[in-house]
A and B are shown apart, each in its own frame.
Chain A
């Protein structure tokens, strides 16, 4: 059980790590206007879909913190948005039929919008117009682009690391059922 957990965490580290590398190198060449796929958020959402809320929130926080550290700007903004998004996705995922491919894509697209809403609210505090405009001009395209691109990344990574899709694991300590 512990070995499996370590293996899962190693996979998720690689999953997020590669997303980081691609996001900082290849993704900049893929931008269509202001829209670009967000692989890091995609990873956070896909982890949150199949993991418990504690694990997902921590994963989102760590991913966001690394993003804050690497891409400059204010510290804490990405970590806050990603941990909240991961928490929400993790809770929502228990109420939906997430095994269906389309459901995953809808959750991913909505997560990008929720994440960006939080992000822009903190970035432009008090300015509803700026938040609305940013959401329309940047987030809608990015959400669509992420939905189109991220499943390919997820597929390749799972094939590379021999991971099955849609295996639900709760990594918070759950006492065995008697």
Chain B
């Protein structure tokens, strides 16, 4: 305490007051000066660069918090999925038995290739993504991209180590689809009239489509395999002026948060479809 009191003795008190006065004067001068002139841009850029660099290195703390939250969410999801997987395995075996009894050849197994999303198109629509697997990994144009949530799109162009994927929200990527509950066939595509959803076209007026129905790929058209989840019907409106009902589909995949995709070769799908006798993709 004595030492602290000594620091407040008159010489030091005045020294500290002098320093405070100098700091205040400099601050006020800076406040007056900072409104005019671009002389600040250079030191600001340097400090910003240093902070961005250091913050980037500290980013793992933020990611850690995010991962903890993600872990909890995924943990409960895995429990549900594990239960479902058990049931599906039972159904798969039953399906294999029935196919064998009917004389169908067994379905081919899909080899899925994992890729990480490393870039997204920066324009307003953002319907093309870049993934970190390319021709070196065996990927070719036309491969199908999906995520655990559902169908993502198809490979548009391939580099050695990168591939561009056209999302199903791309105006150039219509998908042959089927309503899982009623079996209604249609085309799902992006239209500028509903930028955040997909539109189901070629739906007959008497078709049984309801809000909440799950839409999957039908496999017709030979581009996408059958059974991949696309989305749920979010809106059905019928007007007298339009012959066709207006059906909107909300995709399962959140394309803005896509971080990884699974890629599969379409040849596998074509072979499978040819074997099933449903459709010959090479016919046209």
Question: CA separation between A58 and B65, bound complex, in Å?
Answer: 35
B116 → chain A closest CB, angstroms: 23
A74 B31 Cβ-Cβ under 8 A: yes
Assess the B23–A74 pair: CB atoms within 8 A.
no
Query: Distance in Å from the Cβ of A137 to the closest Cβ of chain B?
Result: 24
- Residue of chain B at shortest CB distance from A77: B31
Binding site for A on B (CB under 8 A): 1, 3-8, 12-13, 15-16, 19-20, 23-24, 26-35, 40, 43-44, 47-48, 51, 54-55, 57-59, 61-62, 65
Are B24 and A83 in touch, CB under 8 angstroms?
Answer: yes
Given the known interface contacts A21-B58, A69-B47, the answer about A58 and B19 at a Cβ–Cβ threshold of 8 Å is yes
User: Does A72 reach chain B (CB closer than 8 Å)?
Assistant: yes
**What residues of B have a CB within 8 angstroms of the CB of A80 in the complex?**
23-24, 27-28, 31
Whole-angstrom CA separation of A76 from B29 in the bound complex:
8
Q: Is A70 an interface residue, CB under 8 A from the partner?
A: yes
The 0/1 profile, CB within 8 Å of B marked 1, for residues 85-107 of chain A is: 00100110110000000000000
13 more A-B contacts (CB under 8 A) besides A57-B20, A76-B29, A122-B31?
A: A21-B58, A24-B51, A61-B27, A70-B47, A75-B40, A76-B30, A79-B26, A79-B27, A79-B30, A80-B24, A91-B16, A93-B4, A174-B7
Q: Which one of A22, A69, A172 lies within 8 Å of B15 (CB-CB)? A: A172
Q: Considering only CB atoms, which chain A residue lies closest to B46 in the complex?
A: A69
Given A26, A66, A74, A172, which contacts B61 in the complex, CB threshold below 8 Å?
A26
Interface SS, A side:
helix
Q: Name the distance in Å between B46's Cβ and chain A's nearest Cβ.
A: 8
B44 touches A69 (CB 8 A): yes
Chain B CB within 10 Å, residue with most, of A22, A61, A69, A91: A69
Q: For B59, what are the chain A residues with a Cβ–Cβ distance below 8 Å?
A: 25
Complexed CA–CA distance, A58 and B27 (Å): 12
The winner among B5, B33, B35, B58 for most chain A CB atoms within 10 A is B58
Rounded to whole angstroms, the CA-CA distance of A87 and B23 in the bound complex is 11
**Is A94 in contact with B4, judged by CB distance below 8 angstroms?**
yes
Distance (whole angstroms) from the CB of B24 to the closest CB of chain A: 6
Determine whether A53 belongs to the interface, using a CB cutoff of 8 Å to chain B.
Answer: yes
- B65 with A70: CB separation less than 8 A: no
Residues of B within 8 A of A12 (CB): none
* A8 contacts B by Cβ under 8 Å: no
For residue A165, CB closer than 8 A to chain B, the reply is no
- Enumerate chain A residues within 8 angstroms of B6, measured Cβ to Cβ: 170, 174
Are A75 and B4 in contact, CB atoms less than 8 angstroms apart? no
Give, as a whole number of angstroms, the nearest-CB distance from B171 to chain A.
36
